[in-house]
Structure 1
Amino acid sequence: MCVHPKIFIITGLSGSGKTMALKLLEDLGCEVVDNIPISLCAHLISEKAPKKNLGIGLDLRTRDFSVEKFHDCVENIRKNNTVIVVFLQAETLVLCARYRETRRGHPLGSSVCIEDLIEEEKKFLIPVQNRSDIIFDTSCLSPPEMRSKLQQRLEIPSFGLWVYVLSFSFRRGVPSQSDFVFDMRFLSNPHYDCDMRTRTGQHESIQSYLAQCQNFSSFFKNITSMFTSSIFPSYSDDRRLNCTISFGCTGGRHRSVGTAEMFSKFLKENHSLNVIIYHRDL
């Protein structure tokens, strides 16, 4: 069965989370266009039919925005596409706090009382809100909660968590992209065994050597349990898309590489994870 792409039009009150919603769509594999003039939206889609889900951001900051033009644009796009209009809103006091925190101006102008501008915007956008497919209130949601709940409302599946497993040499520094770093220098070094010196941690004999080292078994059991039972589920709940785990040793050839290889093999047994391994200093 062919699944036709959807077009998500993200609109609503200024400061209610449009940028974050579009970023979520982008992270979920959608093409995203923000604040394109309304007069160009239908032309953009008719020029090149979307091959994957598309997110379009339109609000008061959009050039030539009006309620009438917005409705006409949506109806024109609906003729040949599946369109879902998402209206983002929040309580006035919450929006006031966000404006004071970011110190951004309101699109309706400047005023001593930001509350008046927000209330004016709410009244102006009532027709848009009434004809929206999804009304989503962001007042009480943290950014991770907003991403999670909005993804559920939009019914877009995620690609699963991507786990990057790196090995490295401390001599060349810790990889800056690391989320978690483990120092494997507590293990015996195969470098001092003449039969193993020329091999790397990718070789089974090195991995067997490391597995027999004192404390390796308890270390490996603890980190695999920690990531699979606590960290990865938390990342998934927060809709975080990737996690980088780095293992380091002195030369970046034996202990770090061997541990990274064994850890990656263990993770690949969990089919909900996408695992990529990279040995920086081999």
Structure 2
Amino acid sequence: MHPKVFIVTGLSGSGKTMALKLLEDLECEVIDNIPISLCPHLILEKAKKHSLGIGLDLRTRDFSAEKFHDCVAKIRKRNTVAVVFLDATTQVLCARYRETRRGHPLGNAACIEDLIEAEKKLLKPVQDRSDIVFDTSALSPPEMRSKLQKSLKIPSLQLWVYVLSFSFRRGIPLQSDFVFDMRFLPNPHYETDMKILTGEHSSIQSYLMKYQAFSCFLENITLLFTSSILPSYTQDRRLNCTVSFGCTGGRHRSVSTAEIFARSLRENENVNVKIYHRDL
């Protein structure tokens, strides 16, 4: 069976861009608003190895309900297809247009409600023959992403946690979501037999673990991430989280903390973990 093709259509302003972004995040190849006559040929070429997300609506060149149905019928001959129609109430769509100040694809009019109602009438045949009709009226962006993913039956990608160590002398890594300053710990740099080692060495890690402040910090931060932060990231369908630990030179305290914290995550969470020591 060929990879699946998701055709996303619906009312302008109902969330097509967000739906396509979700598909892109879930490793689908995404194409938006290409001429409808080109869709079957493009999908025949593209859908051999990867699932596709195709966006088609009134802004698409030559769009009509008849051409849309013909396009879907041709694609179904060679692919597994799910047509997703995004809907919303007129009141909600009016509020979204006023907020974004975008023009309606049917033109300009003093009363945006009339244009939305006309669009609903034009797209009623498309909605009636869609596989999934999804109302976005009452959903926040995270809720929409979550419910849409469940409707499309696409498995979640595992969360990636990137654990970084760094030196404050060279600045905080810009990609950090969370930053912790490990300079409250004794510095192994001033211990003669440890100065030449790095925090990757078990001697440095054992040295820090002797201090109650470090053990308490590690216990609390591991609990914070495993019980609260990472589950929230997963629920919101966020794909990565970067946790950075810094110290003066970026060689001992930050490196050891990153190593030990990463091990704790691997033991407690079903997540992918990568470690980077920026300044070693």
TM-score, normalisation: structure 2: 0.98
Q: What is the RMSD of the two structures over their aligned residues, measured on CA atoms?
A: 1.0
Question: Is residue 33–residue 55 contact of structure 2 (8 Å, CA) maintained in 1?
Answer: yes
Runs of 4+ in 1 over 4 A off after TM superposition: none
The sequence identity of aligned pairs, in percent, is 77
3-state secondary structure, aligned to 2:212: coil
For 1:41 and 1:261, the matched residues in 2 are separated by: 49
- The aligned residue for residue 58 of structure 1 is 56
Alignment of 1:17-32 (within 5 A): 17-32=15-30
Matched to 2:170, the amino acid is: R
Matched to 1:30, the amino acid is: C
For 1:194 and 1:243, the matched residues in 2 are separated by: 36
The alpha carbon displacement at 1:271 in A equals 5.6
Question: Is residue 187–residue 214 contact of structure 1 (8 Å, CA) maintained in 2?
Answer: no
Question: Is residue 166–residue 244 contact of structure 2 (8 Å, CA) maintained in 1?
Answer: yes
Residue 234 to residue 48, structure 1, CA distance change in 2 (3 Å)? closer
CA deviations 1:115-140 (Å, max 9, x no partner) are: 11111000110000000000000000
For 2:116 and 2:149, the matched residues in 1 are separated by: 26
The alpha carbon displacement at 1:48 in A equals 4.1
- Counterpart of 2:103 (choices 102, 105, 120) is 105
Matched to 2:17, the amino acid is: T
- The aligned residue for residue 239 of structure 1 is 237
The alpha carbon displacement at 1:172 in A equals 0.8
- Counterpart of 1:9 (choices 1, 7, 27) is 7
CA deviations 1:79-110 (Å, max 9, x no partner) are: 11100000001111111111111111111001
For 2:142 and 2:125, the matched residues in 1 are separated by: 29
3-state secondary structure, aligned to 1:32: strand
**Is 1:94 the equivalent of 2:86?**
no
Can you give the 5+ residue segments of structure 2 that lack an aligned partner in the other structure?
none
The alpha carbon displacement at 1:214 in A equals 3.3
For 1:166 and 1:244, the matched residues in 2 are separated by: 7
- Counterpart of 2:271 (choices 273, 276, 281) is 273
- The aligned residue for residue 191 of structure 2 is 193
For 1:89 and 1:208, the matched residues in 2 are separated by: 58
Residue 48 to residue 90, structure 1, CA distance change in 2 (3 Å)? closer
- The aligned residue for residue 219 of structure 2 is 221
Aligned length: 280
For 2:21 and 2:164, the matched residues in 1 are separated by: 27
